[in-house]
Amino acid sequence: MSDYRLMRPQRDVGVSGYGSYIPMYRLPGAEIARVWSGGGRGPVKEKAVAGLDEDTVTIAIEAARNAVARAEIEPGELRAIWLGTESPPYAVKPSSTIVAEALGAAPYLLAADFEFACKAGTEAVQAAIGLVGSGMGDYALAIGADTAQGRPGDDLEYTAASGGSAFVIGPAENAVATLIASLSYATDTPDFWRRGYQPYPSHSGRFTGEPAYFHHTLAAASALMEELDMAAADFDYAVFHQPNVKFPMRAAGRLGFTPEQVRDGLLSNEIGNTYAGASLTGLSAILDRAEPGAIILLVSFGSGAGSDAFAWRVTERIESRRDKAPKVSDYIERRTEIDYASYARYRGKLQGS
């Protein structure tokens, strides 16, 4: 294996603008435990829950508006809008066209939805890097957003959350973070799936751990670091897919990262697992505070299974852009706690409603 594993576009690209959105409702893990276990706590403190009038499209629209505002471009400059999600409001009909119209970016652009469980968002980032990096267009918008559902009473219900982030990929000359290189890793590993017409996903229990999450995350991350000849200590920040708190912390430790490097991008204890939005929202939170020159490792994981790994270098432009839209912390602080009954209503779990 040598450097053909690494992916680098023909022209230098980066993140021109980034933005996130997290719904305001929070369901504490203790509330789920009260209903299903007679008490106790869950693997995360609480999770973000979409309201009655929210879905993946509305989450994507607000995140995208924030990203475009920070990119300081006209929406019409976008040549692609790709939305990665496992919870599109329509089974057939693109979500991305709705986002494009809402931004005022239509009609001269590509628009499609990507599906690869929790890495659909970074898959869209890779595609956007390819489009901009090849010179086909100057700007492309990649979004990861979900309103993930866990079966009532299942372990996943504690973490399956709503939220998303959007990234305008553009030329390095207009980047708040330039791309150093990326690398992708995919195998056929059925750790988690949802068949058509089923409201809730199924998973293969502990098989989702070592053979799925850890294998792909560690393989992608270590291959990227190896190809770039970089060690954990060369990065200022690292952000991983975060289905809970434990997994990304353990993966980081095995790769040699300290908890300090991971802390700013680890949000699952506050908002749960936002699936395709999870690792991207972690990156967004890091960009909200990173200094120019900081180097960031981003590694996603999607069941099924695969990981995308990226190395980014923050530019001076970040200082003038980050205040042009609400930060991840603004959304996390905007918090209204709900009980299980309201959650059941908001997320369509009441029969006959």
Footprint of another protein (CB under 8 A)? 24, 51-55, 57-58, 61-62, 69, 89-90, 98, 101-104, 323-327, 330-331, 334, 353
Minimum CB distance to another protein, residue 347 (Å) = 12
- Options 31, 203, 241, 270, the catalytic residue: 241
The reply to whether 319 belongs to the active site is no
Which residue matches tokens 């595609």?
127
Nearer to another protein (CB atom), residue 254 or residue 335: 335
Amino acid at 146: D
Is it true that the peptide bond before 107 is cis, omega within 30 degrees of 0?
A: yes
Nearer to another protein (CB atom), residue 66 or residue 217: 66
Q: How far apart are CA 177 and CA 340, in angstroms?
A: 40
User: Could you give the 3-state DSSP secondary structure of residue 198?
Assistant: coil
Query: Is-contact 241 118, C-beta < 8 A?
Result: yes
**Alpha helices of the chain — where are they, by DSSP H?**
29-37, 56-71, 96-103, 120-133, 215-228, 246-255, 259-263, 268-271, 278-287, 318-321, 328-333, 340-346
Minimum CB distance to another protein, residue 107 (Å) = 12
Percentages of the chain per state (helix, strand, coil), in multiples of 5 = 40, 25, 35
Minimum CB distance to another protein, residue 183 (Å) = 34
Kindly state the DSSP code that residue 244 receives in the 8-state scheme.
Answer: S
The reply to whether 74 belongs to the active site is no
Number of Cβ within a 10 Å radius of residue 162:
31
Minimum CB distance to another protein, residue 141 (Å) = 15
Kindly state the DSSP code that residue 316 receives in the 8-state scheme.
Answer: T
Q: Residue 143 corresponds to which tokens in the numbers above? A: 């979004």
Q: Residue 135 corresponds to which tokens in the numbers above? A: 């010179």
Nearer to another protein (CB atom), residue 6 or residue 69: 69
Is it true that the peptide bond before 305 is cis, omega within 30 degrees of 0?
A: yes
The reply to whether 86 belongs to the active site is yes
Nearer to another protein (CB atom), residue 11 or residue 334: 334
Nearer to another protein (CB atom), residue 6 or residue 102: 102
Minimum CB distance to another protein, residue 15 (Å) = 18
Minimum CB distance to another protein, residue 164 (Å) = 14
Nearer to another protein (CB atom), residue 52 or residue 341: 52
- Options 118, 157, 203, 227, the catalytic residue: 118
- Options 46, 86, 157, 227, the catalytic residue: 86
Supply the residues annotated as catalytic.
86, 118, 241
